[in-house]
Amino acid sequence: MTLLPTTRQLETLAGSDDSAPVIMLNLLRFKDRADGVDAADEITGAEAYARYAEKAAPHLERAGGKVLMAMAVQQSVIGPADSEWDLVLAVRYPSRAAFMAMATDPDYLLVHTHREAALADSRLIACAAVPI
């Protein structure tokens, strides 16, 4: 289960001098039942993630971020037969620094507790757009 970056991963991202836009690819698997801050409400992980998304939206906007795509996973065509992920998101930020400013904001970190309550596993992958 991977829900939070390691210290080394954060240091590497924060230490980057790359000022180009970055696309954060999110691979998300929800818990059947949310725990943590959302446990008492007896909601699903997907419902807790929807709470997170709603509360995170103003932080994303202030950071200059934009959701480029959100896709529900249907089936694996290449790879394990059992689907590893429930939702795939691509979120564009103007820079790694803009992402880090949002991700380390104390108010955002309070909202992030809903994400932690929602997810059984995740990956967050920094990507650069390439011409095709």
Residue 12 lies in a domain: no
Residue 48 lies in a domain: yes
Residue 61 lies in a domain: yes
Chain-centroid distance, C-alpha 69: 12
Residue 2 lies in a domain: no
Domain extent at residue 60: 20-127
List per-residue pLDDT tens for the chain, 132 residues long.
666 667 787 777 777 777 899 999 999 999 999 999 999 999 999 999 999 999 999 999 999 999 999 999 999 888 888 889 999 999 999 999 999 999 999 999 999 999 999 999 999 999 998 888
Residue 95 lies in a domain: yes
What six digits make up the tokens of 7? 């210290």
Residue 2 has a pLDDT of 65
> 83 by DSSP, 3-state: which?
coil
Residue 1 has a pLDDT of 62
Residue 132 lies in a domain: no
Domain count, the chain: 1
C-alpha span between 94 and 49 (Å, rounded)? 24
Residue 7 has a pLDDT of 75
Residue 94 lies in a domain: yes
Residue 46 lies in a domain: yes
**DSSP-assigned letter for residue 82:** S
pTM: 0.89
Domain containing 121 — which CATH number?
3.30.70.100
Residue 9 has a pLDDT of 75
